[in-house]
Amino acid sequence: MPLTIRLGGDDHLTLDGPLVVALDPKTGVSVACVAKVRWSVLGLHVPVTVRSLAVRLVPVVQRDEKGIEALVFKLVLDGADIAAVPGIVVDKIAERVNEELAKHHIELAWNFHDLLDRVFALPSSIETVTAIGMRVTAAAVRITNGALSFAVRLDVAVKRRQAEGPRRHAS
């Protein structure tokens, strides 16, 4: 923190000072914090301090256009408490922020395949195997009230050394 999100033009939302973080099995990771919004209204830049802002990180395992999976935390603005601003305006701000987040794919993503899909070469002192490889075949994320869990299933393959012909002894 702080985390600043551009909303187009000079407009932006800055999240600051996390107050409360909670895990919710149905909705994701909730974060309540204070924030500042810079909002252009009729060409005027209006800075607004938000007393309380509720954002949510929604974890999912998602495939990209190439079929590669990633652990993605989508960011969603749930609500805000802005002094002297009518609720309908606050709802409009939240709607615009969520549109911008979705449009620009503002999310935290980790391509775990880059880390976990590996082939490990083995030393020649191991006579029967040259390498061991592992590849992610499935992944899942789960939230309980006390934990966020990420699990992967790995397929493991062994590459055997080719058999050599009979050894000849020098005379």
Contact partners, residue 37, CB within 8 Å, separation at least 6 = 11, 12, 13, 14, 47, 48, 50, 82, 93
pLDDT tens digits for range 61-119 = 998 888 889 999 988 888 888 766 777 777 887 888 788 777 777 778 899 999 999 99
Which secondary-structure segment (H or E) carries 92? helix 87-103
Q: In whole angstroms, what is the distance from residue 51 CA to residue 82 CA?
A: 6
pTM tops 0.95: no
Per domain, the residue ranges of the chain are 3-110, 112-160
Exposed, middle or buried by CB within 10 Å (0-12, 13-18, 19+), for 63? exposed
